[in-house]
Chains A and B, each alone.
Chain A
Amino acid sequence: MSAHVTIRIQQADFDIGREIAALTGGRTDIGAVVSFSGICRGDDDGGKIAALTLEHYPGMAEAEIGRHAETAMSRWPLDGLTVIHRVGRIAPGENIVLVLTASKHRQAAFAAAEFLMDYLKANAPFWKREESTGGTAWVDARDHDDAAAARWTKS
């Protein structure tokens, strides 16, 4: 059976159980589904966070996630994958991102899910802004320095 790819960027929350059912429903060839969800924390390096606001680049965000999905499909024997990324205002405890990978066996599903999250964090055009008691501030990219510019890739 063909691979089922779903990519969505939305303000609304998602239901992980419903998304897994949509990926595996009616199929008997899938033996493993790995689910990763990223959740908004209520603190960052000791500071309290009231909420995050996520901005994205419409058009490019979908294209970039699509390119990573294609790469994952070509590297591992996947039967399907789902990537959902929320935008807008997100409170602590709420979902931010969901990655589901489905395969016959667990190894491909685990590896592809980790690959997708690593590449999403580094390359998908989303930006987080934190609201705290001290005001609002854009979140700094981790491990970024001037040398990071060298990582620009036309992937």
Chain B
Amino acid sequence: MKVKYFAWVRERIGKSEETIEPPASVRTVDDLIGWLTQRGESYAYAFEKPRVIRAAIDHAHVKPDAIISGAREIAFFPPMTGG
């Protein structure tokens, strides 16, 4: 699946998107944050306060317990500040 990062999440990780293949044990958005956090210091820094991070699956907001199976694109970003 494709993962996208925005704003300071993107800056901390150092990339705007990547393709990942997490193991089947990674079922939810929360699980995915935990799995990504293990990938290195930049990820750990981006996700150091996981409850602040917002997520979207296929362009729709989701909660941390959302199931990621079947997702084409998952995005992580800080609280929004548009308007």
Contact = CB atoms under 8 A, between A and B. Distances in A.
Interface of A: 38, 54-57, 59-60, 63-64, 85, 96-97, 117, 120-129, 138-141, 144, 146, 148-149, 152-155
Q: Chain A contact residues: over half helix, strand or loop, or mixed?
A: mixed
7 contacts: A38-B83, A64-B61, A85-B83, A125-B6, A127-B7, A138-B8, A141-B80
A138 B51 contact: no
Interface residues of B, number: 25
Given A138-B8, A153-B61, 4 more contacts: A127-B7, A128-B82, A141-B78, A149-B51
B36 interface: no
Contacts of B15: none
Most A-side CB within 10 Å, residue of B51, B62, B81:
B81
B59 interface: yes
Nearest 9 pairs between A and B by C-beta?
A126-B82, A141-B79, A121-B83, A127-B7, A60-B59, A152-B63, A149-B51, A63-B59, A139-B81
B52 interface: yes
B55 interface: yes
